[in-house]
Structure 1
Amino acid sequence: MLNYNKYRRFETINFKERTWPNNSIEKAPIWCSVDLRDGNQALINPMNIDEKIEFFNLLVKLGFKEIEVGFPSASQIEYDFLRRLIDENYIPDDVVVQVLTQARPHLIEKTFEALKGVKQAIVHIYNSTSVLQRDVVFNMSKDEIKEIAIEGTELVKKYASDFEGKIFLEYSPESFTGTEVEYALEVCDAVADVWGASQDNKIIINLPSTVQMDTPNIFADQIEYMCRNFKNRDRVIVSVHPHNDRGTGVADAELALLAGADRVEGTLFGNGERTGNVDILTVAYNMFSHGVNPMLNLENINEIIEIYERCVKIPVHVRHPYAGNLVFTAFSGSHQDAINKGMKKYEERGSKLWEVPYLPVDPSDLGREYEPLVRINSQSGKGGVAFVMDHCFGYKLPKAMQQEFAEVVQKISEVKGEVQPNEILEAFKKEYLDLDEPFKLINMSISDVDHGSNETTKVKAKIKYNNVEIDIEGVGNGPIDSLGKALYNSKLINISIMDYKEHALSKGSEAEAAAYVYMKRNDIDKKTFGVGVDSNITRASIKSIISAINRLYKL
C-alpha cells in the first residue's frame, strides 16, 4: 500500500475574499515563450545555435512579442546565440528578448555584456523564497532572503542606468507556490520600490508555480491575493509561470488569468523541466475555441509541429490537445455518427458559428484536414463509413444505405483491424459498381412515346443473363421505371423500385454523377441498394438498377 501518510498539504493561503470564480477570460494575456531557455535546458540534447535561430524565427512568426532566449552568463552557447541574434539583426523592433540571471555581480555584468547593442530587453532575476528552500537549501531568515532580492535589483538598476537600450526588470520569487503569500508580497513590493516602479515604468512580477503543490484553485487564490494587495497594482505586470507537476499547468494558467494575471510564460507543447511548463498553444487554442482572439498566429499547427519536433527532438503525443495526430479522429461509432450529422447540418445551415459534436473547433482553422476526422475499425458504425465516403470520395450515401454498406466494412475491419479510406472505396466498388453477374447490360435505347398517359418513355435493351443474350422492352414514366418494367416483362425477375436518389460527385470526378436505387425482390422479400456512376445521369441511373438486380440475384 502507498505510504500516503508520508505527505501533507502545505497550507499557503486561506482566502475567502476570492472573486475569480465569477470572472471569464475576455482577452489574451501578454505571452512570453521560454522555449529557448526553460524548455531547452530540459532537453537531453539541447539545441545548437542554428536550431535555436530557426526556433526563434518560428516564435517571431507565431507572433510572440516577448521571447526568453537563455541564460547568457551561465552558458557559452547561450551567450553566443544572443550575440548572433543581435549582431545579425534577427530581433524585430517590436520583439523584446528576455534573459535570465542570478543576482550576482559577475553574472549580471556578463549578462549586460551579452546584451550590448540590443534595443530593448527584459532582465529576469530570481531567488527562492519558499519555506522549504529557506530551511534546507539556504538556511537563511526571511530578512536575509529578501535582502538577496533587493541587492539583485540594485545591481540590475546600476547596470541598466549606463545601458544604451531600454531595460525592463522581471523579478520572480522562485518557488512562489511554497511561499507564504504575505511574505511573497513583502519581497515583491520591496523589489518594486527599489527599482522605482511606476505606472510609466512598470516592473514584471513573475509568480511561478515552480513546483505545483496544490490544486489550481489554490494557485488562483494566491494570484488574486497578490493582485489585490500589491502596494501599487498599476505599477506591476503580474506574470505567471506554471509548471505541470500535478498535470494542471493549463488550469493553473487559466485560473490565474481569471484571478488577475496579465502575462503567461510557457512553452510550445509544454516542454520543460520535469513534467514541463504550461503549454501556451493549448491555452491559446482554448481561448480561440471560446471566440477570444489569442493574439498569436496559430492557423498552421502542422508547420509548428514539424519545426518543433525537428529542433527539440521530442515527438508531439498523438493525444496532445489540438496538435495530436488523433485528437480530431473518432473511432467510436456513435461519435462518428454525431460528427457526420453535425457536419452536414453545419454545411446545410451555412452557419457562422461552429457547432459540431465532439469537435470543439473546426480542424481546418488549425490547418488540419477533414479526412482523418473519422477512422474506421471494428468499433465504428454507419455514420463513420458514411462520413468517409462523403468527405473523402464525394458519395452521399442515402440514410437507409449507410447501415447496409457499414456491415460490409465491419466484416473487413473484424479481420484486419483499421480499414483505410482507399480500402473502403475498393469494397464499395466491389459491392456496387463492378457487378456484372448474373445480369449484364449490353446496349440500350431510350425513346419518347405518347400513350396519352404518364407512360412517356420507351426502353429497348439487350442484356446478358447467365451468358445468354436477351432482348427486353418496357414503357414507363421515365428511363428507370421503363427499364424496371422491361426487366419485369422478361419474366426473369420480380422486382419493385422503392426509392431513388442522385447527386453530382463532389470529390475527384466533378463531371460524374452517382445514382442510388433501392429495390425489392418480391418473391423472397429481399431489399438492397444498387449504385451507378457515369458522366450521364441517365446512364448512371440505369447502372444503379443493374447493380441492385445483381445484388438481389447474385448466385
Structure 2
Amino acid sequence: MRRIEVFDTTLRDGEQSAGVNLHRHEKLEIAYQLEAYGVDVMEAGFPASSRGDLESVKEIAGHIKDSVVAGLARSTVADIDAAWEALRGAAAPRLHLFIGTSPIHMEYKFRMTPEQVLESTVAAVRYAKQFFSDIEWSAEDATRSDREFLARVIEAVIREGATVINLPDTVGYTTPSEYADLFRYVQMTVPSIEKVKLSAHCHDDLGMAVINTLSAIGAGVHQFEGTINGIGERAGNVAIEEVALALATRKDVFAAETGLQLAQTVRTSRLVSKLTGMPVPPNKAVVGANAFAHESGIHQDGVLKNKETYEILKPEMIGLSSNSLPIGKHSGRHALRVKCEDLGIKLDEAEFLRLFKAVKELTDKKKLVTDDDIMALAYDTVGLAEQPHYELQSLHVSYSAGSISTTTLELVKPDGEVVREAATGSGSVEAIYHTIERVVGTPLELLDYRIQSTTSGRDSLAEVYVKVAIDGKTGRGRGVDNDVLAASAKAYIDAVNRISMVTQRAVEPVTEA
C-alpha cells in the first residue's frame, strides 16, 4: 500500500476565500487541529504578504511539532527572507516557492520571457537553499504550460536543490486524463525526477478537483494538496477529506492511503467551518449534514436491515460518535478541562476561565451544555484580549408589530471609551446595525446574514454569521448567544473588528495553486 502525503493549505489558500480573515488565535487553533488530524505538511501562510501574516506563521511554526510547517514565497529575495524569518523556529520548516510557467502568466502577469522565468527561478532556489533544506517548487498554471519548457525548469530547480515539485491545476482547467498524462510525461522526460517528490494541487472551477487529484495519485504522485471542506479562491480547492476517504474506501482501486487520523475528520471540518464562517453544504460528500441521512422509505428499510446497503462509509470512521461526559450546572473546572481536551480545544488559563464563566452562565438557561455549545462558546471567547477591539456592553431593543424598532446599546471602543447610542430601523436587526454604524462612524454594508442553532431545542444557542463591507474591504463576523438579537449584534461587531485588524497587504493577492 503506497503512502500518500497530505499537504494542507487551509491557512493559506483557504484563507484566500472571499471575505475570510482569521484572527491569529483562530489560525493557531486550526493549526493544532490539523496536527491532530495528521496532515504531513501545513502551509501556514504567506509571510511576505503582511507583517501580521508573518507573525501568524511564526507563531504556528513555534508550536507545531508533528507536521512540517510551510510558508509561501514568490521567487524573490525579499519573499524568501520573510519566509525564513517566519519559519526558522519550526521543527520542520519548508519553503514553498512558486512562479508562473504558462504563456499567459509569463506574458501578462510577470511580463517575462520564458528564459527570464527560468533564470529567475534558478536564482531563487539557489538563494533559498542557503536557509532551507526542504524546498517545494510550484509551477503556477502548470496545466496550461508548454510541457517541454516545464520539463526544462523542473530539471533546473532539482539541480539547485528543490525537494518537492508541485504541478498545480491553478484554474481548475484540466481533465483527469490530461492531468495524469502530465505527471507521466514529467516522470519520463526529466532525468533527475527520481530525486524529488511529486505533488498535485487542484482547484474545483469545473467540479473536477477530486477526480483530477485521484488521477494524479494513480499516475504516481507522492503528495496531494488541498483544504478542509474544499475552501479556497473562486470555487475552492480539492477537499482533503473527500480524497482521503476515497483512498480509504477504495484501496482495491488506488492501492494508496494517507496517514490521516480519519476519526478527526468531522471535528476538523466543523472547526474550520465555524471559524471561517463558511457553512458546509448539507449534501456535501463525507462531512455534510445529510451524508448519513436516509429519508426514502426504501433506503431506510435497507439501512435498518444492513447499513451497507446504502452506506459505504461508517459514521464512526470520520468521528461521528456520541460522548458520555455531559456538562451541566454542577460540573466543575476539571470536567470542562477534560471536555476541552476531548474536543481538541486548546486554551490558556485566562481563556479557559472566560469559557468556564460563559458555560456556567449558559447552564442557568439550559439543563445540559452540548459539545457544539462548548465549541461555539470557546471560539467566541478566546483571543478577546489579543488587541483593542469594539465590545458590546449592553443592548436594549424595543419592537412591536407595525411600528419602528428602536435599539439602544453601549459599546466599548478600542481606546476604552464607553459610548451609548440609539437608532431606529424597519426591524430589530436593522435597528441594531444602524446603531453600531453610528458608533463606528463609518458606513457599513451588510452583504450576507445567516443564523443557525448549535443544537435542536428551544434552549439552543444562536450562531449568527455576517459578511460586511467597510470602505471597500469585506470581512466575516460571528456571534454566539442564547438570544438571537444579541448574537446578531456580536456578529456585526466581530466583522468590524476583523476588518479593522486586517493589515493592508503589501503585495498583490496570491492566486497560485
Q: TM-score range by the shorter chain?
A: 0.5 to 0.7
Q: Larger RCO: Structure 1 or Structure 2 (Cα < 8 Å, ≥ 6 residues apart)?
A: 2
Among all aligned residue pairs of Structure 1 and Structure 2, give the percentage whose two residues are the same amino acid. Answer: 28
Match of 1:64 in 2: 39
Contact 2:64/2:91 (<8 A) preserved: no
Match of 1:366 in 2: 318
- CA 1:50–1:230 in structure 2 vs 1: closer, same or farther (change >3 Å)? same
Displacement of 1:293 in angstroms is: 4.5
1:512-532 per-position Cα deviation (integer Å, ceiling 9, x unaligned)? xxxxxxxxxxxxxxxxxxxxx
Q: Tell me the distance in 2 between the aligned counterparts of 1:341 and 1:268.
A: 33
Q: Tell me the distance in 1 between the aligned counterparts of 2:46 and 2:125.
A: 17
The residue identity in structure 2 corresponding to 1:178 is: R
Match of 2:67 in 1: 95
Q: Tell me the distance in 2 between the aligned counterparts of 1:296 and 1:85.
A: 20
1:143-188 per-position Cα deviation (integer Å, ceiling 9, x unaligned)? 1221121121122123x1xxxxx63111111100110112111111
Contact 2:57/2:71 (<8 A) preserved: no
Displacement of 1:77 in angstroms is: 1.6
- CA 1:231–1:322 in structure 2 vs 1: closer, same or farther (change >3 Å)? same
Q: How does 1:107-256 map to 2 (within 5 A)?
A: 107-158=79-130, 160=131, 167-195=133-161, 203-256=163-216
Q: Tell me the distance in 1 between the aligned counterparts of 2:41 and 2:102.
A: 27
1:269 is aligned, of 202, 205, 229, to 229
Displacement of 1:369 in angstroms is: 5.8
- CA 1:135–1:300 in structure 2 vs 1: closer, same or farther (change >3 Å)? closer
1:297 aligns with 2:270: no
TM-score (norm 1): 0.55
Contact 1:43/1:312 (<8 A) preserved: no
1:407-438 per-position Cα deviation (integer Å, ceiling 9, x unaligned)? xxxxxxxxxxxxxxxxxxxxxxxxxxxxxxxx
Contact 1:227/1:238 (<8 A) preserved: no
Where 1:47 maps in the other structure, the secondary structure is: coil
Contact 1:128/1:173 (<8 A) preserved: yes
Contact 2:6/2:258 (<8 A) preserved: no
Where 1:35 maps in the other structure, the secondary structure is: coil
Give the number of equivalent residue pairs: 318
Contact 2:96/2:135 (<8 A) preserved: yes
Displacement of 1:333 in angstroms is: 2.3
Q: Cα RMSD between the aligned structures? A: 1.8
Q: Tell me the distance in 1 between the aligned counterparts of 2:100 and 2:90.
A: 29
Over alpha carbons, which structure has the higher Rg?
A: 1
Q: Tell me the distance in 1 between the aligned counterparts of 2:136 and 2:20.
A: 28
Q: Tell me the distance in 2 between the aligned counterparts of 1:74 and 1:367.
A: 36
Where 1:140 maps in the other structure, the secondary structure is: coil
1:118-147 per-position Cα deviation (integer Å, ceiling 9, x unaligned)? 333111111101021223333432212211
Q: How does 1:439-454 map to 2 (within 5 A)?
A: none
2:54 is aligned, of 79, 86, 96, to 79
1:40 aligns with 2:15: yes
- CA 1:65–1:137 in structure 2 vs 1: closer, same or farther (change >3 Å)? closer
The residue identity in structure 2 corresponding to 1:182 is: E
Displacement of 1:73 in angstroms is: 1.5
Contact 1:120/1:167 (<8 A) preserved: no
Q: Tell me the distance in 1 between the aligned counterparts of 2:45 and 2:269.
A: 22
Match of 1:307 in 2: 271
The residue identity in structure 1 corresponding to 2:70 is: Q
Contact 1:285/1:294 (<8 A) preserved: no
Match of 2:299 in 1: 335
Where 2:263 maps in the other structure, the secondary structure is: coil
Q: Tell me the distance in 2 between the aligned counterparts of 1:293 and 1:120.
A: 23
- CA 1:105–1:318 in structure 2 vs 1: closer, same or farther (change >3 Å)? same
Q: Tell me the distance in 2 between the aligned counterparts of 1:284 and 1:137.
A: 34
Q: Tell me the distance in 2 between the aligned counterparts of 1:85 and 1:302.
A: 22
The residue identity in structure 1 corresponding to 2:312 is: P
Match of 1:53 in 2: 28
1:70-115 per-position Cα deviation (integer Å, ceiling 9, x unaligned)? 11121222111122234xx4121x4211011111122222222222
Q: How does 1:389-428 map to 2 (within 5 A)?
A: none
